[in-house]
């Protein structure tokens, strides 16, 4: 478990499923991530993240604010068939009601700190859609820099689908280069 000034990050529990499914099936929240989000796609996502934790000892945490689950944030293995396959990837997704309050940044900073303290990775990476400027801005606020050579078409999308155009960001382990 990780605690910050306003947040608690902890492994998701079965009781979190209704709140997380509501977030992950919200079309506005998911507009840059999934076409036609649904309860079924949300439930599959939760199962996938549970698998990361079971097989890799890491995964997205449920993020609580004022005792309520408001999103997911954390670390997972980089997706197969992408430029970040096997790397340590950070990601987040939050309920619209907490957008613009610095919650994602606070949770992501705590996740990065956990990574540096608990994993040997020399860097942490993130991917997002080419058009998802808000996510890219957060990556930059976290100290991440874009890796133009990491631009790719996400394997979950057709090559012609603009939603599949993805960009890669990275942050190096503090103190690694001097």
pLDDT tens per residue, the chain (178 residues)? 899 999 999 998 888 888 888 888 877 876 666 656 667 776 777 777 787 788 888 889 999 999 999 999 999 999 888 899 999 999 999 999 999 999 999 999 999 999 999 999 999 999 998 888 999 999 999 999 999 999 998 887 777 777 788 999 999 998 876 5
Which residues on adjacent β-strands are paired with residue 10? 62
Please state the domain count of the chain. Answer: 1
Environment class of residue 32 by beta-carbon count within 10 Å: exposed (0-12), middle (13-18) or buried (19+)? middle
Q: Return d(Cα 177, Cα 170) in angstroms, integer.
A: 15
Tokens of 73: 């944030």
- Per-position b or e across 104-117, b if 16+ CB within 10 A of its CB: bebbbbbbbebbee
Whether residue 127 lies inside any domain: the answer is: no
Whether residue 75 lies inside any domain: the answer is: yes
Whether residue 162 lies inside any domain: the answer is: no
Residue 178 has what pLDDT?
A: 57
Whether residue 97 lies inside any domain: the answer is: yes
Q: Give me the domain span that covers residue 88.
A: 2-122
**pTM, two decimal places:** 0.89
Of the candidates 69, 116, 115, 121, the one whose C-alpha atom is nearest the C-alpha of residue 95 is 69
Whether residue 103 lies inside any domain: the answer is: yes
Residue 10 has what pLDDT?
A: 94
Whether residue 136 lies inside any domain: the answer is: no
Whether residue 30 lies inside any domain: the answer is: yes
Whether residue 99 lies inside any domain: the answer is: yes
- CATH code for the domain in which residue 27 is found: 3.40.630.30
């Amino acid at each position: 478990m990780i605690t910050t000034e306003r947040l608690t990050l902890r492994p998701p529990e079965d009781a979190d499923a209704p709140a997380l499914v509501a977030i992950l099936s919200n079309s506005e929240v998911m507009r840059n991530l999934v076409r036609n989000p649904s309860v079924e796609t949300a439930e599959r996502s939760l199962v996938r993240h549970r698998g990361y934790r079971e097989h890799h000892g890491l995964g997205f945490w449920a993020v609580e604010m004022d005792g309520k689950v408001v999103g997911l944030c954390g670390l997972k293995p980089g997706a197969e068939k992408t430029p970040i396959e096997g790397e340590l990837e950070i990601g987040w997704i939050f309920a619209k009601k907490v957008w613009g309050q610095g919650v994602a940044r606070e949770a992501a900073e705590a996740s990065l700190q956990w990574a540096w303290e608990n994993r040997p990775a020399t860097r942490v990476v993130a991917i997002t859609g080419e058009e998802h400027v808000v996510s890219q801005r957060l990556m930059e606020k976290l100290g991440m820099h874009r890796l133009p050579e990491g631009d790719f078409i996400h394997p979950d999308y057709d090559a012609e689908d603009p939603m599949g155009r993805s960009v890669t960001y990275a942050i190096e382990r503090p103190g690694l280069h001097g």
